[in-house]
A and B are shown apart, each in its own frame.
Chain A
Amino acid sequence: MVEDKTTSFMRSLCMGEIEEDVLLPFPQMAESEQETLRDIASALSGLLGPREEDFRAWDREGEMPSDFIDELKEFGLFGLVIGEAFGGMGLGNMAYSRTLQEIARYDASVAVTVGAHSSIGMKGLLLYGTDEQKKRFLPELATGERVAAFCLTEPGSGSDAASITTTAVRDGDHWVLNGNKLWITNGGFARFFTVFAKTGDAEQRGHMSAFIVPRELEGVSTSAHEDKMGIRASSTTMVHFDDVRVPAENLLGEEGKGFKVAMHILNSGRTGLGGGSVGAMKKLIQLSTKQATERKQFGKPIAEYGLIKQKVGHMVVECYAAEAAVSMVAGLVDAGYEEYAVEAAISKVFTTEALWRTADEALQVAGGNGFMREFPYERVLRDCRINRIFEGTNDILRLFVALTAMNDVASQLKELSSTMKGLLNDPIKGFGVLSNYAMKHASLQTNLGRPKGRFTKLHPALSEEAEGFETATRQLALAVDRVLRKHGKNIIGKQFASRRLADIMIDLFVLACVLSRAHASIEANGEEGAMREIQIAHVFAGQARGRIRRNFRKIDNNDDELIKALADGAFEDGKFAWDTI
């Protein structure tokens, strides 16, 4: 672990530096916390295990009964992240994420109900609440007497969160809130809303503030339950605020800092969604192994056929990688790192897509049965599709990953260019900046004199994979430099280029997490005992290497402009322009 908690592994990586101490050793929960989690898992199997038929029925009905939600409250599922002093369990990020994993094995709607409350609904209160606000609301939030909901999205404001139109106007000791929030998870029964509203002038884009709005305030209302593709039993509604007079003491965080509050909540909540996705993957692997060993065709179990093994083998690799990434990010949060937004976004993107691929392949292993509603596969597929959309779409998150991770390099270049301009005024300082940059560049090109260019602590059994990582890191730093020098500030509009870099970064971060996890296992179990994990690392590294190479190649050699033109053509036609008749 490094002293400086502002180090971001990925931001450093874009400069060509491998901050291995951020990722090593692989985070692990204390033994006592592990025991608590085993108890939670066993209690959850008592609570949720016998409900399989109910979950299926509630999916069809599109709602879970209120007495079941009462059972969840009584069980204590709404107090997971709230401190013991306020009646909760006080779980750390890693333990919380692992708990959501366990819930998601049984039902995604339940996981989303619990996750929306703890990961985002009341997270703002934990992160920014005053002592007085916490005292007032946490005890009721812990028992579930108040279930929480996060209200950011609006009909006209999705990925562009800064464009919200809900307003809060100061009136004496109150703020008067007006606006509509869309697709609010837990909206139907939540009694605690974290609401984001514009508090600046109409022209002040992004000047918003966060408010705690209890449901009982006059003017708060919700619409009907939305009819959704998946997570159908979870409550999703519109929430309306009609001249709601919110007491000034309910302002959450500083006035005008609402956007930062919203992003901090979303960043720190990502391991909940990640944990849920990993739980669903584990369930699918269990289902697929059962299906493969029991289903016989051509006289033997289909588990003996290569194409089934290929699917299940990949599922195992993806699940290991996804869990490594989610645990790593949760571990960073627990260890007090402040800069984990890029890593958290990567874990969300990778894990939700890995789950989608796993659900698709598990359904394929089940064949025709997979398509039947009698079996769980189609429901998991429907349920997990939203993961790539909500809490930040994976597209927006890719751009976020690339642009944020490159930030340090960009500011270095900015300094460089201003130095170039002012070179004659201050030649000595100018020479320093220039030579620093030239040194960095030269060392990246030659791979000489780079103190943080390598992993030094990984077990030799992982050396081939580590070397691949180091080579790709050097290429990444050079590519980031080249791309930024080429596009400058305009990089923001270059989504094709950003996406490629983001995909490279995603592969590299997840690979680093896999290596860290496999290393930990070798340390604990010896090379022999960790053999299968070393094999997983080998397979994942190979896959990542292929993707990374392709992406690097395409930075300079691609069909981006042609594809854009074809899209523009389609927009103009408003349809597919060709036919065979």
Chain B
Amino acid sequence: MKILVPIKRVADPDNANKVKVSADGTQVTTEGLEWKMNPFDEWALEAALRLTEDGAAKSRVGEVVLVSVGPKEAVATVREGLAKGAERGVIVEGNDNDLDSNVIAAALAAVAKKESPDLIVMGKQTVDGDSNVAGTVLADKLGWPIINYAMRIETSDDGKTFAIKRDLDVGVASVKVTGPVVITVSDSILHPESVKNGVTPADFKYPEAEGGRYASLKGIMQAKKKPIAEQTLSGLGVDAKRTVTYKKFELPPARSGQTTFVESVEELVEKLRTEAKVL
């Protein structure tokens, strides 16, 4: 099985206080930021790796191709994914300011057409833009089904059909879909038994790990030798333009950081109503 996993480098959400807005408010400045893989993408990568390996024997049985649309520096993020086990990477160079979900989806669709994967597994959103639309637009451009918020994925014996459980606010929806298909995942995909691919023994349990697996030092060394192809938007024939333009960015007002302890639920409700005015 071949899976395409789109990944994005984002400002480390643990250092969100370093995010600054330019003086004219037209953009978020990127100087001094620490970068990491979008956490939602990390979950998608974990799901894709589980789908293409024998988890018990720790051997690969399929192929995961990483694709990142963004600045050249994103190569470090792709390399990180390769160190975790993906086979190769593609970078589509683009300036972050010229990209939105529509352009990204168009670029991903162009790469998918070249690669013809069985599946595209991706994060449902990125933690910087939080748009939550690229997956759906991508599926639309490809004419493939979109399954959002997957929390369990089970492949059929022939590897073409997938039984998927979707993580919804109101409960769990079970669907069956035949590939190729675009799947976005929720964090429940990190559950030790979330993925059944017919190769990993059915009773195998993955270790609990926040954000999915980490690379081993061996993986880091191997990643240096794995291929990363460089593409450009024009080279891929992508002429999509931004459909969303941002008018203005503002930082949220600073919080007072004050903590008030209350004696009872009644007092809490009272304070929420009269002081915080949120009820």
Contact = CB atoms under 8 A, between A and B. Distances in A.
A345 interface: no
A80 B76 CA distance: 21
A38 B76 contact: yes
B79 A46 contact: no
Given A84-B221, A89-B221, A39 B215 contact: yes
A46 B213 CA distance: 8
A437 interface: no
Interface residues of A, number: 20
A40 interface: yes
Given A42-B80, A43-B83, A36 B220 contact: yes
B209 interface: yes
Contacts of B83: 39, 43
A38 B79 CA distance: 11
A76 interface: yes
A76 B218 contact: yes
B214 A46 contact: yes
Contact of A35 (B76, B213, B217): B76
Interface in A27-41: 32, 35-36, 38-40
A50 B214 CA distance: 12
Contacts of B214: 42-43, 45-47
A74 interface: yes
A39 B80 contact: yes
Contact of A43 (B76, B210, B217, B224): B217
Interface in B50-87: 76, 79-80, 83
A362 to B, nearest CB: 22
A77 interface: yes
Interface in B180-232: 209-211, 213-221, 223-224
Contact of B209 (A38, A50, A74, A79): A50
Contacts of A47: 214
A75 B217 contact: yes
Tell which of B209, B211, B221 has the most Cβ of chain A within 10 Å.
B221
Nearest to B219: A43
Nearest to B217: A76
Contacts of B218: 76, 79
Interface string A208-227: 00000000000000000000
Contacts of B217: 40, 43, 75-77, 79-80, 89
B76 A50 contact: no
Interface in A223-251: none
Interface string B216-255: 1111110110000000000000000000000000000000
Given A35-B79, A38-B76, A39-B80, A46 B209 contact: yes
A70 to B, nearest CB: 13
A43 B215 contact: yes
A552 to B, nearest CB: 44
Given A39-B80, A39-B83, A50 B220 contact: no
B216 A75 contact: yes
Contacts of A42: 36, 80, 214-215
B220 A74 contact: no
Of B36, B210, B218, B219, the most chain A CB neighbours within 10 A belong to B218
Contacts of B213: 46
Interface residues of B, number: 19
Nearest to B212: A46
A80 B217 CA distance: 8
A43 B219 CA distance: 10
Of B209, B219, B220, chain A has the most CB atoms within 10 Å of the CB of B220
A46 B217 CA distance: 12
Contacts of B219: 43
Max chain B Cβ within 10 angstroms of own Cβ: one of A35, A43, A45: A43
A119 B79 CA distance: 29
Nearest to A37: B220
A522 B36 CA distance: 28
A84 B80 CA distance: 19
Nearest to B257: A294
A105 B32 CA distance: 23
A12 B27 CA distance: 55
A418 to B, nearest CB: 56
A439 to B, nearest CB: 54
A43 B221 contact: no
Interface string A34-73: 0110111011011100100000000000000000000000
Contacts of A89: 217, 220-221
Residue of B76, B217, B224 ringed by the most chain A CB atoms within 10 A: B217
A406 B84 CA distance: 52
A43 B209 CA distance: 12
A43 B216 contact: yes
A76 B217 CA distance: 5
A185 to B, nearest CB: 21
Given A47-B214, A74-B216, A75-B217, A39 B209 contact: no
Interface in B112-165: none
A47 B80 CA distance: 15
Contact of A76 (B80, B210, B216, B223): B216
Interface in A250-273: none
Contacts of A32: 224
Contacts of A39: 76, 79-80, 83, 215, 220, 223
A29 to B, nearest CB: 15
Given A39-B83, A39-B220, A40-B220, A46 B215 contact: yes
Contacts of B216: 43, 74-76
Contacts of A45: 214
A79 B219 CA distance: 13
B220 to A, nearest CB: 5
Contacts of A84: 221
Contacts of B209: 46, 50
A544 B20 CA distance: 39
B65 to A, nearest CB: 20
Nearest to A294: B257
B91 to A, nearest CB: 15
A43 B221 CA distance: 12
Contacts of A77: 217
Contacts of A35: 76, 79
A74 B216 CA distance: 8
A39 B214 CA distance: 10
B184 to A, nearest CB: 23
Contacts of A76: 216-218, 221
A79 B213 CA distance: 20
Nearest to A79: B217
A494 to B, nearest CB: 48
Most buried by B among A42, A74, A79, A80: A42
Contacts of A80: 217
Interface in A423-468: none
Contacts of B79: 35, 39
6 contacts: A38-B76, A43-B214, A43-B215, A43-B216, A43-B220, A77-B217
Q: Which 7 A-B pairs have the closest CB atoms?
A: A46-B214, A76-B217, A43-B215, A39-B220, A76-B218, A75-B216, A43-B214
Interface of B: 36, 76, 79-80, 83, 209-211, 213-221, 223-224
Given A46-B209, A46-B213, 7 more contacts: A36-B220, A42-B80, A42-B214, A46-B214, A50-B209, A76-B217, A89-B220
